[in-house]
């Protein structure tokens, strides 16, 4: 049965919780997905959240916690003891999810939680995963997988797979290893079902397989899964031993986080922040680029001031300064955005000079068409003189070409020297193009109008 979460539903839920009506609360939530219940937690206090969690099965409660935002989950985990976290949360999670949650705890509480785990094998696997950096394949992978030995018969492989699959929610792949646990390939479920029971796995498995190393960066893992349309990818260590598997849902989280970070960088926010963060943190994230924008704008003001005589003689020049500056900023951001996207997707190939040449030709074509439109507008709509119109359109063409080159060159160079190129698409590009745009605009005006 589909449940619609309305204002009345939320009010009824709050009322039932306040009345400690456990039966009513369970009935209201029983048909909801954990993700939907996690959204409802925004409407509840920490005490009310605890009441709901205590009512539900541990497995559902664990799923709800995984769906919460990190900050909200941290706040809730602080209300639980190490034993409660271990027994009610970690025991119900796959190893990769369990590691994500444990990493959100203080160092002291991490040790306490791990010590409280009764399943020693689960604890060992979690401890093993904790040694990997969070932004690597080792930090993303889980230990839950199906593997068979190449020397097993098909009937033996099926028996072993049944045992291994008991604790798995889904099975996407069957991995084939040797006696040293080295990854050899995959076993097709179809081949397994259509092959005689005594056939050796070594005779029917597929040797072609995509894999990643434990130290592979998370975005590289995402690219592998995207490129080969995989549901999951195996992870091997330096000796090619199978140590884990990464599923597509983990990669989606990585891509989302990377996109959010790049979007914030492009907007001039230097730290990963949320709208609910405190004022001090938000200020620290935004202030550096705002200071850069202030300095750049101050320089632009000084450029304009140095040509004050020109604006006194030809006041119409003043009216077009925002237009020239805006076009420079827009073109620069467009060029840099395309380059940053290409770098992120590894789609930028060839020499930098070829790329700059292409952007220059594109800017020349666009700026020429726009200059023609502007020339007609200034002549027929504003009755601007030929000299001033020529100044404006010539400056527009040159400024747009220069802005496209800056927007292309800077991200590529930042990427080359290991700096995130996403920072180039924000105030840095816009401010620099404003300054150069005004300088070129007034320099051309001085050359043509002779002041």
Average pLDDT, stretch 331-360?
A: 74
pLDDT score recorded for residue 277: 59
pLDDT score recorded for residue 275: 52
Contact 253, 235 (CB under 8 A): no
pTM above 0.85, yes or no: no
User: Among 200, 201, 220, 202, which Cα is nearest to 210's?
Assistant: 220
Fold (topology level) of 145-247: CBS-domain (3.10.580)
Q: Cβ-count burial of 287 within 10 angstroms (0-12 exposed, 13-18 middle, 19+ buried)?
A: middle
Q: Which residue has the higher pLDDT, 249 or 354?
A: 249
Whether the pLDDT of residue 195 is over 90: the answer is no
Q: What integer best gives the mean pLDDT of the chain? A: 84
**Domain 5-128 top-level CATH class:** mainly alpha
Q: How many Cα atoms sit within 13 Å of 155 on the Cβ side? A: 4
Average pLDDT, stretch 211-232?
A: 92
Q: How confident is the model at residue 326 (pLDDT cuts 50, 70, 90)?
A: confident
pLDDT score recorded for residue 237: 96
Phi and psi angles of residue 267, each rounded to the nearest 5 degrees, phi first: -90, 0
Q: Cβ-count burial of 179 within 10 angstroms (0-12 exposed, 13-18 middle, 19+ buried)?
A: exposed
Average pLDDT, stretch 278-303?
A: 74
Average pLDDT, stretch 74-99?
A: 90
Place of tokens 């620099």: 432
Average pLDDT, stretch 266-293?
A: 63
Which CATH number is 277-447 given? 1.10.357.20
pLDDT tens column, 29-47: 988 899 899 988 888 888 8
Whether the pLDDT of residue 120 is over 60: the answer is yes
Average pLDDT, stretch 288-316?
A: 77
CA distance readout (Å), 131 to 137, 144, 165, 194, 266? 12, 18, 26, 41, 32
Q: Which residue has the higher pLDDT, 302 or 150?
A: 150
Whether the pLDDT of residue 276 is over 70: the answer is no
Q: Structural domain boundaries of the chain?
A: 5-128, 145-247, 277-447
Give the 3-state secondary structure of residue 135.
Answer: coil
pLDDT score recorded for residue 414: 77
Contact 370, 439 (CB under 8 A): no
pLDDT score recorded for residue 242: 97
For CA atoms 279, 281, 286, 292, the dihedral sign is positive
pLDDT score recorded for residue 345: 64
Whether the pLDDT of residue 424 is over 90: the answer is no
Whether the pLDDT of residue 196 is over 70: the answer is yes
pLDDT score recorded for residue 165: 87
Q: How confident is the model at residue 451 (pLDDT cuts 50, 70, 90)?
A: low
User: Among 49, 2, 1, 59, which Cα is nearest to 25's?
Assistant: 49
For CA atoms 168, 195, 152, 212, the dihedral sign is negative
Q: Which residue has the higher pLDDT, 378 or 127?
A: 127
Q: Which residue has the higher pLDDT, 347 or 253?
A: 253
């Amino acid at each position: 049965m589909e449940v619609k979460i309305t204002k009345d539903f939320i009010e009824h839920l709050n009322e039932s919780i306040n009345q400690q009506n456990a039966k009513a609360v369970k009935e209201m939530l029983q048909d909801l997905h954990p993700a939907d219940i996690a959204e409802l937690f925004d409407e509840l206090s920490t005490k009310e959240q605890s009441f709901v969690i205590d009512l539900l099965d541990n497995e559902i409660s664990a799923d709800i916690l995984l769906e919460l935002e990190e900050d909200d989950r941290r706040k809730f985990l602080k209300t639980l003891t190490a034993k409660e976290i271990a027994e009610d949360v970690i025991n119900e999670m796959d190893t990769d999810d369990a590691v994500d949650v444990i990493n959100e705890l203080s160092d002291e509480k991490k040790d306490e939680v791990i010590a409280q785990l009764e399943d020693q094998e689960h604890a060992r696997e979690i401890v093993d995963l904790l040694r990997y950096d969070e932004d690597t394949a080792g930090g993303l992978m889980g230990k839950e997988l199906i593997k068979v030995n190449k020397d097993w018969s098909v009937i033996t492989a099926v028996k072993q797979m049944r045992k291994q699959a008991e604790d798995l929610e889904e099975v996407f792949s069957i991995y084939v290893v040797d006696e040293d646990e080295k990854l050899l390939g995959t076993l097709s479920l179809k081949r397994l079902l259509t092959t005689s029971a005594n056939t050796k796995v070594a005779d029917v498995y597929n040797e072609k397989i995509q894999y990643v190393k434990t130290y592979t960066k998370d975005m590289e893992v995402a690219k592998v899964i995207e490129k080969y349309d995989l549901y999951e990818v195996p992870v091997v260590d330096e000796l090619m031993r199978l140590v884990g598997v990464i599923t597509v849902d983990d990669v989606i989280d990585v891509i989302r986080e990377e996109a959010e970070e790049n979007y914030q960088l492009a907007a001039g926010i230097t730290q990963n922040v949320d709208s609910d963060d405190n004022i001090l943190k938000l200020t620290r994230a935004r202030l550096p680029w705002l200071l850069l924008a202030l300095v750049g704008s101050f320089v632009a003001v000084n450029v304009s001031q140095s040509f004050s005589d020109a604006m006194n003689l030809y006041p119409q020049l003043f009216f077009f300064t925002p237009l020239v500056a805006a076009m420079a900023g827009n073109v620069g951001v467009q060029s840099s955005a395309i380059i940053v996207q290409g770098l992120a997707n590894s789609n930028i190939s060839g020499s930098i000079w070829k790329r700059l040449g292409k952007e220059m030709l594109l800017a020349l074509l666009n700026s020429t068409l726009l200059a023609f439109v502007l020339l007609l507008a200034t002549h027929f709509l504003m009755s601007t003189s030929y000299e001033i119109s020529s100044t404006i359109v010539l400056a527009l063409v040159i400024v747009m070409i220069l802005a496209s080159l800056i927007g292309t060159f800077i991200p590529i160079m930042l990427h080359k020297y290991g700096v995130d190129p996403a920072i180039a698409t924000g105030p840095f590009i816009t401010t620099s193009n404003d300054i150069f745009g005004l300088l070129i605009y007034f320099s051309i005006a001085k050359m043509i109008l002779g002041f």
